[in-house]
Amino acid sequence: MQIKKLTLKDYRSYQNKTFEFSNKVNILVGKNAQGKTNVVEAIFFMIIGKSFKTSKEKEVVSWQAENGYIKGEFSKKYRDVEIEMFFGKDRKKTIKIDGISIHKMGELLGSANAVFFSPEELKLVKESPEERRRFINVVLSQTNKKYFYLLGRYEKVLASRNKLLKSTQDLQEIKDTIDIWDRALAELSAKIYVERENFIKELTPFAKKAHEYLSNGEEKLEMQYKSSFEGEDYEGKMLKYLSKNLQKDFKLGYTSVGVHRDEIDIYLNGVEVKNFGSQGQQRTTALSLKLAELEFIKNRVGEYPILLLDDVFSELDANRRKKLLNFTSKTQTIITCTEFEKTKDFDGKIFEIVKNQ
């Protein structure tokens, strides 16, 4: 899968700009704050429907304009696809696929795929569990529509339950109504658990292989999806727990169990890497997960996703840099870096990025 052409109009630092990308490696070179990440943000926006920089999407509209626009022309194995997004300072964005307006984000997801990698993602392994759940959500939302809809419903039900927990000082008042939310939450939680557990099972061999490669065969990676409940009758167990622990959740003011609290446990040679791994091991593991993501998407959709590497080379040592570059032969890759980081190892189409040009 490739992005052939990108058009940006009044999008962040760009007034009107098009990029025609090579199918292989593309290198966006420029000083700081010239607009390199803005390009990657726009591409990933069209793929996951969100910005990785902000949750306030109107921020992407150029300061001097009222409306912004981006268009991506993607080429896939079996069909090409054109994605357009229209942003406004006083309205929600609208989306078109091949010229036709869509109304649900679920219709966009899966139209194109990408793996995004930045220095932030290098912290994937050592940061809070939320980051690892986000990792799962970003990959699964792109490849599994059912998952995306389940997650959306789950988040709504969870918010409603939490709101109810905080709505009164008297537990008796909400005892009956909360049952409806408990049932919905347990049912959705059980379904999401199954999808996530299957995902981690499918991802693990790829992560193992990538990690073996990155660590020169020295480290064996294992991982496991960890949920509040496990095994058979997840739903029943959760429902029971929720009703038994209502007092506790009421005091806390939020729901203490469910897939919004889950975790991926990762081990290297049997040692838990989040708490006991060195910084180098944690970074290598993050890279392994990202490379596994690439293979997972290939396995699911039948072709490699676009690889977006924002500023990562400065963060990696020569060995890992070289190994990561090896992977780029499989995919269309878009790399951002400063002139200083650009090495002779980089071979590709060069775009000089200078603000307002």
- Tell me the residue type at 51: S
Query: Which of 36, 211 has the CB closer to ligand ADP?
Result: 36
How many residues bind ligand ADP (CB under 6 A)? The answer is 16
Of 55-63, 139-147, 176-184, 220-228, which part binds ligand ADP (CB under 6 A)? 55-63
Nearest CA-CA partner of 25 in 291, 354, 263, 350: 350
Using CB under 6 A, pick the residue from 62, 113, 215, 284 that binds ligand ADP.
62
Among the listed ranges 27-35, 125-133, 143-151, 272-280, the one in contact with ligand ADP (CB under 6 A) is 27-35
User: Candidates 33-41, 195-203, 265-273, 283-291 — which segment interacts with ligand ADP by CB under 6 A?
Assistant: 33-41
Select from 9-17, 32-40, 106-114, 326-334 the region that touches Mg ion (CB under 5 A): 32-40
- In single-letter form, the type of residue at position 116 comes to F
Q: Which of 2, 13, 111, 142 binds ligand ADP (CB under 6 A)?
A: 13
Exposure class string for 288-310: b at 16+ Cβ within 10 A, else e: bbbbbbbbbbbebbeebbbbbbb
Q: Quick one: how far is CA 22 from the chain centroid?
A: 24
The site partner of 30 among Mg ion, ligand ADP, none (C-beta below 5 to 8 Å per kind) is ligand ADP
Specify the pairing of strand 25-29 against strand 349-352. Answer: parallel
If one asks whether residue 37 binds Mg ion (CB under 5 A), the answer comes out as: yes
- Residue closer to ligand ADP by CB (options 34, 227) is 34
DSSP 61: B
- List 2, 26, 34, 118, residue binding ligand ADP (CB under 6 A): 34
Query: Closest distance between ligand ADP and the C-beta of residue 108, in Å?
Result: 22
Separation of alpha carbons 40 and 116, rounded Å: 9
Which of 16, 18, 20, 33 is in the footprint of ligand ADP by CB under 6 A?
A: 33
Token pair of 180, please? Answer: 């409806």
Kindly report each contact of residues 266-269 with a partner whose C-beta sits within 8 Å and lies 24 or more positions away, as own/partner. Answer: 266/125, 266/221, 266/222, 266/223, 267/221, 267/222, 267/223, 268/211, 268/219, 268/220, 268/221, 269/219, 269/220
Among 37, 204, 285, 288, binds ligand ADP (CB under 6 A): 37
* Residues at the contact surface with ligand ADP, assessed by CB under 6 A: 12-13, 30, 32-38, 59-63, 353
